[in-house]
Amino acid sequence: MDITISFVLEVIGTIACAISGIRLAAAKNFDWFGAYIIGLVTAIGGGTLRDILLDIPVFWMHNWWYLAVTALSLLAVIIFRDHLVRRDKMLFIFDSIGLAMFVVIGIDKTLAIDYPMWVALIMGIITGAFGGVLRDILINEEPLIFHKDIYATACLAGGFVYWITGYFDSPAYVSQLSCALTIIVIRFLALRYNLSLPVLNDSPRRKK
């Protein structure tokens, strides 16, 4: 993947995920330091687990700017609190953008070290979703990925689009953009039309 595209994707993903975490922390009345930690965990949690599983150096330990970008995200939430905290759809927007960017990054980095595509799909989902899982656990909320909401499913769909476009030898940026747009569009369609996966429960079926 071109280093410029990689950098842009990581900056966008880091900002979006950090703001989604900081926004929730603000809604829970965390102090500034607590909100920063939540934002940072949201932004780097998935990539950290990915790198550990792939047995490669953890990405943020070699680049200080992840910490700086999270700090700038905190500053943005403080300044624009009325717009970023008190509007319900803002979390959805930033969460969806961060999710899409990090799925692409996870897939790209896994393929770059010669793992097969099915491993890249899993690493893409982990990169995109695991930071949000940690965020929700730390703020004492049920992780969004375990809800009936279309979340990991959107990541999987985006990964398959990446796979298909790559199979036909499309340029890397086409696969990246197609994957990200697929995830974002599916998330917004699920919200717009109240789409969800079936819920698994232990209620006994009614006898006819």
pLDDT in tens, 155-187: 999 999 999 999 998 899 899 999 999 999 999
**Cα angle value 185/180/26 (rounded, 5°):** 80
Q: What is the pTM of this model?
A: 0.89
Q: What average pLDDT does the structure give for the chain?
A: 89
Under a CB-based contact definition with an 8 Å cutoff, are residues 196 and 190 in contact?
yes
Give the confidence band of 203 by pLDDT, cuts at 50, 70, 90: low
pLDDT of residue 181: 96
Query: Domain spans of the chain?
Result: 3-192
The predicted structure's pLDDT at residue 88: 65
User: How much is the average pLDDT of 141-161?
Assistant: 86
| 4: pLDDT strictly greater than 80 | no
Tell me what pLDDT residue 1 has.
Answer: 47
Q: Would you give the DSSP letter of residue 187?
A: H
Place of tokens 């905290």: 85
As a whole number of angstroms, the distance between CA 36 and CA 198 comes to 35
Q: Closest Cα to residue 122, out of 110, 133, 113, 112?
A: 110
